[in-house]
Structure 1
Amino acid sequence: MTGEVGHVIGERYRLVDQIGQGGMGRVWRAMDGQLGREVAVKEIALPPGLSPEERERYVTRMEKEARSAARLGHPNVITVHDVVHEDDVPWIVMELVVGESLDSLLNRAGRLPWEQAARIGTQIASALAHAHERQIVHRDLKPDNVLLAGTRVVLTDFGIARVMDEAVRQTSVGAVIGTPHYMSPEQVQSLDIGPASDLWSLGVLLYAAVEGGLPFTSPPVYPLFTAILNQPTPLPRQAGPLTGLINQLLSKDPAQRPPAAQVADYLSTLGRGAAEPTPQPQPGPIPQQSYPQQGQRQRGKRQQGQPQATA
């Protein structure tokens, strides 16, 4: 990677300091010399071993994905301002969101009350619904890609994992881009990925938020993947009225997961009810699944049926 403090990208964006790093690149705070505003710039780290032709192809595709993300006009999706190609590296220029990540909050708090998880989940699901309507799948939904700016929740990194996954597979047999604990069964099996895969990841995220831990935790990657594919999902104990929703989102069968728009509506209703001083009617179930309240959890037969790089 070529970034360093003071370096100017695209004859416009001066790197001020590094504010994040992971397997897919580094994030910089930068100053837009034309508009005089601070922005965030993501420096993408393509894997080594690509031929010049392959590298150029993946850079072009990364720019295409970033421009697709730039068309997502939604308050819960980070705004992409520009894409710059410099020194054979793609740089994605975004709004600078001042706040902490959900991952940081969970590391600090341990777990969240279900009411707070529902309010955060409402905005994530709303962002996913907006993207899915436009045929864009995130592929790497995880707490580190969720930013919290006051009451606003912002989802980042749309589409990047898709190109990085193909580039890594080009050079490393069996390698997978993404965060293993949040991968859906179909992603683990390298099947076609659709919107339902993002809904599985949202289910894992909600589970982690309310439980303070992950549903599948085997440290080695491949035993973890076996668990995701074959083991029943542990029943969440702290989820309250989110219990049934989390169970359905974590169905091994993607067809059984509700679409993002329905999830957003359901969570929004729960959030409004939790904010009221008097009891409110519970929202109706999403089709094909009843959402039991805490103390009424169902333990019936569950449906049966994927190496970490983040950022």
Structure 2
Amino acid sequence: MSLAPRAVLVHRTTEYEELLARHGTHGQAAFQLAARGRSMAEVRERHERNRRALAEVSAAVPLRWRQARVERADLDRFLFGPEDVVVVVGQDGLVANAAKYLSGQPVVGIDDDPGRNPGVLVRNRPGDARRLLPSATGARTAADELTMVEAVTDDAQRLLALNEIYIGPPGHQTARYVLRAPAAPPEAQASSGVLVGTGTGATGWLRSLWHQRGSTLPLPAPSDPRLAWTVREAWPSPVTGTACVEGLLAEGDALDLVVESDRLVAFGDGIESDALELTWGRSVRVGIAETVLRLVG
């Protein structure tokens, strides 16, 4: 007998909760905010809005389903099952935070604060959950399949991301490495890092670097099976080059990097706390992930 679906509600600690944890009482937190010209009433209202959204989504879960909740900080310790329907209640970035721990489960993004969030990934309102959840299971579920990016090291460490993967120094030092891009000779480089992004990430950090460079590279769309990559602030010297600083990766392509620094890191979607450590002589390969994010609604 197959298990009933499980709705996993993903949320994050609100600013109001963080303030109470830091300052101890509502009054002390309000005093600290007022000193910075902010209103505690506004922060609490956003907290209440988030909690109302969570309650409404929870009430919309079909009665025969199981249900669980996981906070963003606990995602790396939560075991998602193949029968799960993942319901992200919050901001777009929370979808990206959850995506790296999934393996094809359908995801429903719920915007808890319409008008404040861009709503690119959290496309639905809390009231839509009652309609979307019953239709989110099954092989015929209508979903956008968003391309993801993957980094794999030579010792089999793996990192998955929805927006982008950054490889570079953990501080303000210079990253030194040898870059191997498709159809290009290897090039020793010194830079502030390499960014490899998806079409979903092309609306954020990747696009910022693209604008800064004045690039004419066609950035992919979210569901395109392509990645775009760029080198940040490549430095020319007698032993390092700048000939190979941006490009596209199609299915089967990879960007290879061999470390020539004491320590570099690779992290995805801005989560530096969950980084791969790359020491001298290690190599990492970045390309299109086999896993996609299945976004429903």
Question: Structure 2 length normalisation: TM-score?
Answer: 0.29
Structure with higher helix content: 1
Question: Structure 1 length normalisation: TM-score?
Answer: 0.28
Structure with higher strand content: 2
